[in-house]
Amino acid sequence: MEIVMVGVCLLAMGVCFCLGILKWNEIWYSSKKRLPPGTMGWPVFGETTEFLKQGPDFMKHKRARYGSFFKSHILGSPTIISMDPELNRYILLNEGKGLVPGYPQSMLDILGKSNIAAVHKSDHKRIRGSFLSLVNPYMLKDQLLSKIDKYMRIHLHNLDDKTVDIQKITTNMALLVAFKLLMEIESSSIYEAFKAEFDKLMVGTLSLPINVPGTNYHCGLLARKSLLGILRDIIEGRRNSLMKHNDMLDYLLKEEDQRYKLSDDEIIDQVIMILYSGFETVSTTSMMAIKYLHDHPSALQKIRDEHFAIRGRKKPEEPLDWNDYKSMVFTRAVIFETSRLATVVNGVLRKTTQEMTLNGNVIPRGWRIYVYTREINYDPFLYPEPQVFNPWRWLDKSLESHNYCFLFGGGTRLCPGKELGIVTIATFLHYFVTRYRWEEVGEEKLLKFPRVEAPNGLHVRVSMY
């Protein structure tokens, strides 16, 4: 009996201690002047666990209680979360006025502090210029499209009469295509080793920065170290070789325009970032497009008609050209609608470089601001019947450029690889819908946060069309 009583007392003391810590944490943050309303959770950990587990529901509950502008503590940092469309637009268009990129420490450490999403001011202008030189319309039209077409044909051959995991198909496609565009010759020999480490790196970017063996963050850092070794060996090998390489890495290494010249470390960070950002958006959007098209036969028939019209103008094995791509009007609409409805990108992070006032509240220096754009995608005033997959809405070209379309970022941070990603997805859809028909096998679970994914895969039975 005494042992039970001791146990109960210890439990009660533990509960009181935890409640005391929570209360102390709230009081400490409340002492700061004119912060927005909200809660901060535990010291150090904050509300990260609830944020990652509950996702959109976490945001909705907070907004219902505190409004569209509130404070929290997520991913290792005190954070202001903005769900206000007008304020989000202001923040995205006014980088430099006390705001810089504010990605989580885990992402900075694993993707590199020189990656294009992390730098600002003159470094951002220089690195963005370097990247745009790789993916400008001339490069897309005359070099990249033909390569993407070739890789896609190879990747999507021989699927007839098979049950495949479309998630695996699209993730492999996105990484392989990006890898070959960057390092075409080396890709065949090191791709598998690179991919194994890259998968660990991906998981580590959205984790608490606790460097303890076994944590996702620790595994992500080790993966980065391995990838750095692989990439440095490739760069050294190229510098000691007379062989000509007609790929992105070659352009980066031989850039003669001093405005866009990068160091080797900067080049490595850009390579990792190009693979990371392209992989995430291209693979997920491609998978969800296949899912939505399967569920909406009229949209599937419309996109098929568009692509068979293109094939009707070409010889059987003739690759796609730029005119073909520009004629894919409905395909582009499908890609935009998929990005909107699936919400592949939930928002962007900024960091304050000085104390500033937003929405009548004082934001301390060094705090992050999460520009949460997910809910804008379901605004019925912008998108009537927002939960309905309706690619036809995007045939109105003005929708791509309206003030609150943040599918590809905004302001000076508009994704420089936007058109490359659309070209890749459009080419994938071209060969998939003209070669195959498919039926889903079972009812696979889909998660929408923090990443859009099918935990057990998205399996389809494929047959020739």
DSSP secondary structure, 405-422, as one string: --BTB-GGGS-TTHHHHH
Sign of CA dihedral 409, 176, 247, 276: positive
Question: Can you tell me the mean pLDDT for 310-315?
Answer: 94
* Block residue for tokens 């201690």: 17
User: Residue 437's pLDDT band (boundaries 50, 70, 90)?
Assistant: very high
- The Cα-based distances of 392 to 292, 338, 379, 433 in angstroms read 14, 12, 17, 18
Class of domain 91-464: mainly alpha
Residue 101 DSSP SS3:
strand
pLDDT surpassing 50 at residue 386: yes
Q: Which two tokens stand for residue 175?
A: 């990484």
* Cα(250)–Cα(56) distance, integer angstroms: 42
User: Residue 161's pLDDT band (boundaries 50, 70, 90)?
Assistant: very high
Pick from 122-136, 299-313, 364-378, 399-413 the range whose average pLDDT is largest: 299-313
Which residues touch 246 (CB under 8 Å, ≥6 apart)? Answer: 143, 184
Secondary structure tally for the chain: helices H, strands E: 17, 10
Nearest-5° Cα angle at 126, 121 to 131: 125
Q: Which of 335, 331, 366 is nearest to 352 (CA)?
A: 366
Which residues touch 362 (CB under 8 Å, ≥6 apart)? Answer: 32, 33, 34, 35, 355, 356
Query: 56-65, pLDDT tens digit by residue?
Result: 889 999 999 9
pLDDT surpassing 50 at residue 107: yes
Answer yes or no: are the C-beta atoms of 52 and 450 closer than 8 Å.
yes
User: Residue 67's pLDDT band (boundaries 50, 70, 90)?
Assistant: very high
CB atoms closer than 10 angstroms to residue 408: 19
* Cα(434)–Cα(300) distance, integer angstroms: 11
* Cα(368)–Cα(99) distance, integer angstroms: 9
Q: Which two tokens stand for residue 196?
A: 């194994």
Least confident of 22-36, 286-300, 322-336, 344-358: 22-36
Nearest-5° Cα angle at 326, 147 to 292: 85
Nearest-5° Cα angle at 238, 232 to 244: 150
Query: pTM (2 decimals)?
Result: 0.89
pLDDT surpassing 70 at residue 32: no
- Strand positions, DSSP E, 105-161: none
* Cα(426)–Cα(173) distance, integer angstroms: 13
Average pLDDT taken over every residue of the chain: 87
Residue 114 phi/psi, 5-degree rounding, is -100, 5
**Size (the chain), residues:** 465
Q: Across the chain, which distance is largest between two alpha carbons, in Å? A: 88
Q: Which of 222, 339, 230 is nearest to 283 (CA)?
A: 339
Looking at per-residue pLDDT, the higher value among 443 and 296 belongs to 296
The one-letter amino acid at 184: E
Beta strand 368-372 with 77-82: parallel, antiparallel or unpaired?
A: parallel
- pLDDT for residue 33: 67
pLDDT surpassing 80 at residue 6: no
Residue 395 DSSP SS3:
helix
* Cα(404)–Cα(88) distance, integer angstroms: 9
Q: Residue 282: in which H helix or E strand, if any?
A: helix 264-295
* Block residue for tokens 């400490």: 28
Question: Can you tell me the mean pLDDT for 419-441?
Answer: 96
- pLDDT for residue 398: 85
How would you classify residue 121: left for phi > 0, otherwise alpha for psi between -120 and 50, otherwise beta?
left
Question: Can you tell me the mean pLDDT for 85-92?
Answer: 88
